[in-house]
Amino acid sequence: MMVKKAAYKRIVLKLSGEALQGVHRHGIDQHVLFSIARQIKEIRELNLEIAVVLGGGNIFRGQENVEAQGLDMDRSVADYMGMLATVINGMAFQDALEKQGVPTRLISAIEIHQVAESYIRRRAMRHLEKGRVIIFVAGTGNPYFTTDTAAALRAKEIGAQVLLKATKVDGVYTADPLKVRDARRFSSVKYIDVVRKGLKVMDSTAVTLCMENKLPIIIFDMTKEGNIKRVVMGEKIGTVVK
């Protein structure tokens, strides 16, 4: 019996911090964490090379938290706090993966040697070649840049073929489907239309970076277990930005 191969060899999966909080208002939901870890283990067995980029919004959203709470805090300070939040998520995710028997490396854009390796491109690629799942944390290591931009940047640096954006909705819509009943989902959309129409995909810097480097983005619903495998096998789910 012929075993179907994955549609890609190397991927970057972007997970927001909110994706890890599940039904809770903040923090990490262990059920969600282990569900994603199981799915990562499943697709790794397809000889897929996997990198994960994590956000930190379930703990601290940087400038958004500052503005929402009316805090008197410098933007750079807030953004660095957000980077540290992604490190916490990364440690939890690494633990969940290793409990599934998946070898991992936690790689940080800021130096924090006691818990993570510092980012070196060639070393990260070598980890992938050896079958380890790498978890990128701390964004780009710079304030004023989101983890979406970090995901696009790392994807190009390591030679990934696709950027997968896991969300709580099943793609990109003409309007918020929770608020607009007749909102229409796109099966595919052009990069430039995402930027011009302000569609809720990723921030404009990340989309522009992908557009300039012809890196496709697939936005899909991660709340349904098994969807990550469906995407990497080439099934037509979610929205493709290309």
Q: Domain holding 49: CATH number?
A: 3.40.1160.10
Say whether 241 sits in a helix, a strand or coil. Answer: strand
Residue pair 138/149 in contact by the 8 Å Cβ criterion = no
201: its two tokens: 């995909």
pLDDT digits (tens, 9 = 90+) for 201-220: 888 999 999 999 999 999 99
Q: What is the amino acid identity at position 175?
A: A
53 DSSP β-pair partners:
14, 136
Looking at the predicted structure, is the pLDDT value of residue 68 above 70?
no
Helix, strand, coil percent content, the chain, rounded in steps of 5: 40, 20, 45
Calculate the average pLDDT of the chain: 91
Range of lowest pLDDT (14-18, 42-46, 172-176): 172-176
For residues 86 and 146, is the Cβ–Cβ distance under 8 A?
A: no
Furthest-apart CA atoms within the chain: distance in Å:
63
Query: Which of 144, 139, 145, 148 has the alpha carbon at shortest distance from 110?
Result: 139
Residue 1 belongs to some domain of the structure: no
Residue 2 lies in a domain: no
117 in helix, strand or coil?
Answer: strand
DSSP 122: H
Distance between CA atoms of 139 and 80, rounded to whole angstroms? Answer: 9
Tell me if the pTM is above 0.75.
yes
Q: Tell me the sheet residues that pair with 221.
A: 167
Please give, one letter per residue, the 3-state secondary structure of 129-177: HCCCEEEEECCCCCCCCCHHHHHHHHHHHCCCCEEEEEECCCCEECCCC
Of 117 and 181, more confident? 117
4 is a domain residue: no
Residue 63 banded pLDDT, cuts 50, 70, 90: low
Q: Is residue 5 included in any domain, yes or no?
A: no
How many domains does the chain divide into?
1
Residues of the domain holding 60: 10-241
Q: CA nearest 11: which of 165, 123, 150, 221?
A: 165
pLDDT of residue 1 exceeding 80: no
The pLDDT score that the predictor gives to residue 241 is: 95
Q: Is residue 3 part of a domain?
A: no
Give phi and psi for 135, each to the nearest 5: -120, 115
Q: Does residue 48 lie within any of the structural domains?
A: yes
